[in-house]
């Protein structure tokens, strides 16, 4: 599920909405590096927390692939912040 800020930032980057890809989510339309960029533009300094929250929700929904994707996004955000 995307919020309006996600869709706006995806549109600004020229990324089609994930709903057109079988409703699988971001991992079906972009790699974690691009998702980190979109998330950082939508959530600014809260982007890491949002990525971890989405990973938690994916894990609770028994979707390990999506959880790994969001952990990858978090790792990219953390690496960018550190250096």
CA distances from 5 to 44, 66, 82 (A): 11, 20, 25
Q: What is the pLDDT of residues 18-63, one digit of tens each?
A: 444 444 566 667 889 999 999 999 999 999 999 999 999 999 999 9
Gap between the Cα atoms of 43 and 51, Å rounded: 10
**pLDDT at residue 79, as a whole number:** 94
More confident residue, 8 or 57: 57
Q: Which residue in the block uniquely carries the two structure tokens 């690496």?
A: 79
pLDDT of residue 45: 92
**pTM confidence score:** 0.70
Q: Could you tell me the residue ranges of all domains in the chain?
A: 4-82
């Amino acid at each position: 599920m995307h919020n309006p800020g996600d869709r706006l930032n995806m549109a600004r980057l020229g990324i089609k909405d994930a709903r057109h890809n079988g409703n699988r989510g971001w991992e079906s339309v972009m790699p974690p590096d691009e998702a980190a960029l979109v998330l950082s533009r939508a959530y600014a300094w809260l982007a890491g927390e949002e990525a971890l929250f989405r990973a938690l929700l994916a894990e609770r929904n028994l979707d390990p692939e999506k959880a790994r994707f969001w952990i990858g996004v978090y790792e990219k955000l953390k690496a960018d912040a550190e250096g």
